[in-house]
Structure 1
Amino acid sequence: MRIFVFLFSLKSDLKKYRLYYFLLFLGIIFLGIISRKIDFIPLCFGDFLYAVMIYILTRIFLIKHKSIRSAFISLLICYSIEFFQLYQEDWIIAVRKTLFGKYILGQGFLWTDIMAYTIGISFIFITEKIILKKSSYETRFRIKQ
């Protein structure tokens, strides 16, 4: 319930963008789960979508900030989770065997995952800046604040 209060706690234009990001976030989760269930889709595509999802999530919470900040924070989160997979204690291995742990924490460190995260966040950042003309949106709201 609190997430919905948070989604609608800003001015109407920002609420609209935050709602769009939230719907995109849900869509990316759906596509990511589907990508893990279909055998002919490469696993790195799921990692790509995971990075896009993390970026969208940071945009929901950092909507008033420049998108480059969200990109750096998203990379930091993705890289941290990936490098955390090098930690192999019994308790964390047990958590990783759960559905939550499998999808959120992953199971093993791979350099290809780092590459997929970098490409995914770069892709969504560039898409947001160029195709959706995000820079004019950011300028418009930063002046009003």
Structure 2
Amino acid sequence: MAKETGRKLIAQNKKARHDYHIMDTYECGLVLTGTEVKSLRQGRASLVDGFAQLDGGEAWLHNVHIPEYSQGTWTNHSARRRRKLLLHRAEIDKLIGKTQETGHTLVPLALYFKDGRAKVEIALAKGKKEYDKRQTLRERQDRRESERAMSAARRRQRA
């Protein structure tokens, strides 16, 4: 049986990029049980309310929903348990310093398999204010409108 390669996305948190300014991203391994891995292989997970926390020199992922494995028995896992993140010591020390600044938090952006191993991409982020969110939406809308106008002008020019 050939070993799988590449990146297979399971879940991503699109709302995080809307609600936060992303400062830096990190790729972390996850400590999972067997039924959690099987459930992830079925492509079922949700990062919506998830966050990471540094506690006692270790990184933990909270509130990420990995549903119970359908064929699991009494060995099944609880869906929202906290899971340990695997990071290098230097990365954890750097994150401890950064998260102590006011307004900074760790949010999961994506959950995926990379070369057969479950990984989560976490981001050091700072919460956006309501007007920042509106401004971001307005900029995106203006960019779309200008691209549409330019492509329409190109079509008229060709004709």
> Into which bin does the TM-score normalised by the smaller protein fall?
under 0.3
Greater Rg over alpha carbons, structure:
2
TM-score normalised by length of structure 1: 0.24
The structure with the greater share of residues assigned to helix is 1
The structure with the greater share of residues assigned to strand is 2
